[in-house]
């Protein structure tokens, strides 16, 4: 199944998250068969990222948003973690610092936008400025309501400058969030992940849902689409995200750049260098043999 088509929010659509099945797993009974496909995609992802880097013409920006425990970290680890770190960077956007807060909301985001040949992954993003900022009235409505257009214009300017943008909303159910909170309690190695805000924010689930729906409806554009990924099954989420990223990169029809040197001539020089080296090697060996004979006699 083509997940790029299935999970993309078409511009003009009106998303209702509670109508979207967070536990969808396509034809897969469990993770066994899905894992085989995911591995195929993550392997290909690494090759395509190498090509993006070599081609040095464009960049890729991947944005991850979700409710708490929605799986942003897991997606980065299991899917995007397969990329070569030389060409990929992850940025986590937390509560803005005093300096960041003293600028416009896109200031810190723009600085993290990927340069040519690179992939940037945003763990949270400028969308927080129409999510938490809206849910908790951090700014008045007349401020946040203008941000959807500002975001679309900003993303368009990145796209016009050669950045491809993919935005994933990892969709989990409220029950699944609670199950993941329990896992965190039961597993001492996950205790560090627990925060008070997980529980306080959960009380605002419906407000966040409305805010997410508005962001998805207002900002899923042809140039920077949103995808709603069913996230209750982590293994299905990984499969869907990896397929969408790979198919997007495949569609770019990237090519290795033409060599900057004359390969025929370089081959000749290589053979000359090998011959030279062999000659020198012989000389050194002959000298060493003579030295050895002298010492022994
Ligand atoms: P984890 O899933 O591991 O808990 P996290 O992304 O939730 O990771 P935290 O440090 O728990 O990381 O939370 C970061 C917090 O920063 C979130 O509550 C988020 O809403 C908040 N935040 C991010 N951007 C902004 C913003 N622009 N304005 C206000 N708060 C923001
Ligand atoms: Mg958190």
Which ligand 1 atom sits nearest the alpha carbon of residue 100? Answer: 27
Q: Is the pLDDT of residue 289 over 90?
A: no
CB 166 within 8 A of CB 17: no
Q: Which ligand is nearest to the CA of 77?
A: 1
Residue 296's pLDDT is 65
Q: Is the pLDDT of residue 267 over 70?
A: yes
Is the distance from the beta carbon of residue 93 to the nearest atom of ligand 1 less than 6 Å? yes
Q: In DSSP terms, which residues pair with 59 in a beta bridge?
A: 163
Q: How far is the CA of 150 from the centre of ligand 2 (A)?
A: 26
Residue 76's pLDDT is 97
Reported residue count of the chain is 297
CA 253 from chain center: how many Å? 19
Is the distance from the beta carbon of residue 247 to the nearest atom of ligand 1 less than 6 Å? no
At 141, list the tokens: 């409505």
Is the distance from the beta carbon of residue 223 to the nearest atom of ligand 1 less than 6 Å? no
**Residue 281: pLDDT band with limits 50, 70, 90:** confident
- Over its C-alpha atoms, the chain yields an Rg (Å, rounded) of 26
Can you tell me the distance from the alpha carbon of 184 to that of 193, in angstroms, rounded to the nearest whole number?
A: 7
Q: Is the pLDDT of residue 286 over 70?
A: no
10 Å Cβ neighbour count for 209?
17
Residue 190's pLDDT is 93
Residue 45's pLDDT is 97
Mean pLDDT of the chain: 95
Find the mean pLDDT for residues 241-249. Answer: 98
Of 170, 165, 171, 173, which Cα lies nearest the Cα of 220?
Answer: 165
Of 197, 174, 180, 232, which Cα lies nearest the Cα of 25?
Answer: 232
Q: Which ligand is nearest to the CA of 127?
A: 1
Find the mean pLDDT for residues 94-117. Answer: 98
Which ligand 1 atom sits nearest the alpha carbon of residue 126? Answer: 27
**Residue 280: pLDDT band with limits 50, 70, 90:** confident
Largest distance between two CA atoms of the chain: 97
CB 132 within 8 A of CB 178: no
Q: Is the pLDDT of residue 78 over 80?
A: yes
From the options 3.40.50.2300, 3.40.50.620, 3.40.47.10, 3.40.50.300, give the CATH code of 3-250: 3.40.50.300
Q: How far is the CA of 274 from the centre of ligand 2 (A)?
A: 58
Of 123, 116, 193, which Cα lies nearest the Cα of 158?
Answer: 116
What is the residue with the minimal CA distance to atom 11 of ligand 1?
195
* Strands 119-123 and 88-92, bridge-based pairing: parallel
What is the residue with the minimal CA distance to atom 30 of ligand 1?
95
Higher-pLDDT residue of 292 and 279 is 279
Q: Is the pLDDT of residue 77 over 90?
A: yes
Q: What is the 3-state secondary structure (H, E, C) of the chain?
A: CCHHHHCECCCCCCCCHHHCCCCCCCCCCCHHHHHHHHHHHHHHHHHHHHHHHHHCCCEEEEEEEECCCCCHHHHHHHCHHHCCHHHEEEEECCCCCHHHHCCCCCHHHHHHCCCCCCEEEEECCHHHHHCHHHHCCCCCHHHHCCHHHHHHHHHHHHHHCCEEEEEEEEECCHHHHHHHHHHHHHCHHHHHHCCHHHHHHHCCHHHHHHHHHHHHHHHCCCCCCEEEEECCCHHHHHHHHHHHHHHHHHHCCCCCCCCCCCHHHHHHHHHHHHHHHHHHHHHHHHHHHHHHHHHHC
Q: What pTM value is reported for the model? A: 0.92
Q: How far is the CA of 188 from the centre of ligand 2 (A)?
A: 17
Q: What is the dihedral of CA 284, 286, 291, 296, to 10 degrees?
A: 140
Higher-pLDDT residue of 288 and 230 is 230
**Every domain of the chain and the residues it spans:** 3-250, 262-297
> pLDDT tens for residues 189-229?
999 999 999 999 999 999 999 999 999 999 999 999 999 99
Q: How far is the CA of 201 from the centre of ligand 2 (A)?
A: 9
Q: Is the pLDDT of residue 282 over 80?
A: no
Q: Which ligand is nearest to the CA of 123?
A: 1
Q: Is the pLDDT of residue 297 over 90?
A: no
Residue 287's pLDDT is 65
């Amino acid at each position: 199944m083509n997940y790029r088509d299935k999970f993309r929010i078409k511009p003009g659509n009106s998303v209702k998250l509670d109508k979207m099945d967070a536990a969808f797993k396509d034809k897969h009974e469990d993770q066994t068969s899905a894992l085989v496909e995911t591995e195929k995609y993550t392997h290909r992802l690494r090759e395509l990222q190498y090509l993006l880097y070599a081609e040095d013409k464009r960049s890729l920006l991947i944005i991850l948003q979700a409710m708490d425990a929605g799986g942003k970290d897991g997606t980065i680890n299991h899917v995007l973690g397969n990329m070569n770190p030389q060409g990929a960077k992850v940025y986590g956007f937390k509560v803005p610092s005093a300096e960041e807060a003293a600028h416009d909301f896109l200031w810190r985001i723009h600085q993290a936008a990927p340069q040519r040949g690179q992939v940037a992954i945003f763990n949270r993003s400028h969308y927080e400025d129409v999510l938490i900022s809206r849910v908790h009235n951090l700014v008045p409505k007349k401020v946040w309501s203008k941000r959807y257009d500002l975001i679309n214009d900003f993303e368009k300017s990145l796209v016009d400058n050669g950045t491809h943008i993919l935005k994933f909303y990892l969709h989990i159910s409220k029950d699944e969030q609670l199950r993941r909170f329990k896992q965190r309690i039961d597993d001492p190695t996950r205790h560090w992940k627990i925060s008070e805000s997980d529980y306080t924010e959960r009380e605002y689930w419906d407000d966040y849902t409305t805010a997410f729906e508005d962001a998805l409806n207002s900002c899923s554009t042809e140039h920077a689409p949103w995808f709603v990924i069913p996230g209750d099954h982590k293994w299905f989420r990984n499969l869907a995200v990896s397929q969408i990223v790979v198919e997007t990169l495949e569609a770019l029809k990237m090519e290795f750049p033409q060599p900057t040197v004359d390969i025929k001539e370089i081959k000749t020089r290589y053979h000359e260098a090998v011959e030279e080296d062999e000659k020198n090697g012989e000389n050194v060996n002959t000298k060493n043999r003579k030295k050895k004979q002298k010492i022994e006699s």
